[in-house]
Structure 1
């Protein structure tokens, strides 16, 4: 009887062990996006990524999107992930000045022309260790950028940078405002949903942004002139809580690893660039928006106006020597 009891207990423990392990891992992983569910990054990037990953995860683990800043405001996303309030989030590094300073190298005008180039630069810097300290608290799913921003203006078309003097422009970042000051303009911080109203009421005379935002927020109704000079690009990221990642099974870690890094960033960049081009083509065909396409002489004037941007960015970093090295690597990656 004693032997039979031992055998029964052993079988019970054997059966319960994997079940307990499965139940311990089974959970919903919260993915935070400050965009609404139908927003570009939520619907075209994050949700498709989640769908692919969820189909491969085991043990009852799945990602679920919490859109529309449900878990926190846009500037709070990095902290939400670090604290574990969100297991993953869409993070704009420049929304939290001082946390990801070197990632802002892509904000220097002229370095990034499109998303593909921006993703290449940031992933090269991450892979060679240049950005390791900035992302040491996270599992990096993807680093990428927007395409180079264009100027959307409500008043007269802008061809020369001097024509921005005296204007108030919606700024994408602190450094963006510094750049505006170089041409006599002022940067104004406005949340994305308030840009339309700001333009309509004259709080700002223009904004620098991408074509998707132009369409999403119907800026064509209040800013019908688009100057196509390439301005700054904004660094973007999808970051995961390290403890969450470490707590997963090896099999599930492998799934996430497969869907992380340069290849994922390149896929995201392709979606961004394709969408940007498609929207531009649509607006050009419609004929209700005025695209100010610059000739070589005009572009040279813009390049000259922001020629001090690189030096300003380097001098604004905690370690100018390190920043200068980052800038050099960015130029090398871009083929400059």
Structure 2
């Protein structure tokens, strides 16, 4: 059950007034930006260090300015509740984790149902960012929830397997509890492992206390989360890079803004995505090395291992697409659009999920 209280919307509207009247004459605006994750994670850090300064710079000389309230780390909304916080007007802008809102943003989760497609996070995130604007089904998912997608795609580097036991074969996973984010739990089907849904804010303690034996995670979060201390065996399986969400605004509020403010927000989101991805690309190899220095054992599997893993899975992409089709959400079209886009961008998927 979501934790956001809808009754608070009336109070927010009464104080801010943005839902009741256009802001065309406003010179200074109070804007709250929300994220469930804390600033230790890169996408939140860049909201503060890149997105906000870029908006402020773009507004210079326009007669408009913004006073920001930054609410991160669950102070206003927990992980997965960012969409509701923005939709209901508790915040004007949010780093919306589509990964943790699969019912409302189901088309956005296509990458998590298509593992082993591409390990290039720049390619995955940039094309997914583009699809949020160009693909009608993805665009509709945001708008149906009262949001305007600004950009700033949260690209996630190639997912790893981190465990408290060595993994030399897929058979080694049998019977072990492995946590994964949202739909990534499906990646464990066919391995013998027991998949458990989890997220970065709980991984460390739950491995430490024996709730599960490992996680599917990415290097750029594993280091700041110190997961190598409790899961020192790092297996580079090549699950692939992913798209986990982006920056979105309350649509009623956004539509009430002057055109120059709207343009500033979208230009800043683009700048945020570029800076974030450059930062991410520069960090992944470094972070793996630092974890190794701290005692982690890193193993890279071969193509045969990846093919065995992928072949042992159900076609989760096809099942996901058919489920969305039945709900009238054009899942098969979204799946084909994404896979076609990635193949055209040079990806060589281990399985062509849409063609089976």
Q: TM-score range by the shorter chain?
A: 0.7 to 0.9
Counterpart of 2:100 in structure 1 is 95
Alignment of 1:179-258 (within 5 A): 179-231=187-239, 233-258=242-267
Change (3 A) 1:147 1:163: same
SS of the equivalent of 2:141 reads coil
Counterpart of 1:111 in structure 2 is 117
What is the CA deviation profile of residues 267-314 of structure 1, one whole-angstrom value per residue up to 9, with x for unaligned ones?
433332322232123334x27211111123222222222362322332
Among candidates 55, 62, 70, match of residue 65 of structure 1: 70
1:141 aligns with 2:150: yes
Question: How far did 1:22 drift?
Answer: 8.7
What is the CA deviation profile of residues 212-250 of structure 1, one whole-angstrom value per residue up to 9, with x for unaligned ones?
221112111111111101226352211111222223223
Counterpart of 1:30 in structure 2 is 32
Cα distance in 2 between the residues matched to 1:318 and 1:163: 36
Question: How far did 1:52 drift?
Answer: 1.8
Cα distance in 2 between the residues matched to 1:161 and 1:209: 17
Of 125-134 and 186-195, more deviation after overlay is shown by 186-195
Cα distance in 1 between the residues matched to 2:39 and 2:266: 25
Indicate the RMSD between aligned Cα atoms, in angstroms.
2.4
What is the CA deviation profile of residues 56-90 of structure 1, one whole-angstrom value per residue up to 9, with x for unaligned ones?
32433233311121111112110111111111111
Cα distance in 2 between the residues matched to 1:319 and 1:264: 36
Give the structure-1-normalised TM-score. 0.84
Alignment of 1:43-82 (within 5 A): 43-57=45-59, 58-82=63-87
1:162 aligns with 2:162: no
Change (3 A) 1:301 1:44: same
Higher-helix-fraction structure: 1
Question: How far did 1:171 drift?
Answer: 2.0
Change (3 A) 1:316 1:205: farther
> How many pairs were matched up?
312
Cα distance in 2 between the residues matched to 1:307 and 1:230: 18
Change (3 A) 1:31 1:242: same
Change (3 A) 1:333 1:193: same
Question: How far did 1:332 drift?
Answer: 1.6
Structure 2, gaps ≥5 residues long: 1-22, 349-356
Cα distance in 2 between the residues matched to 1:287 and 1:83: 44
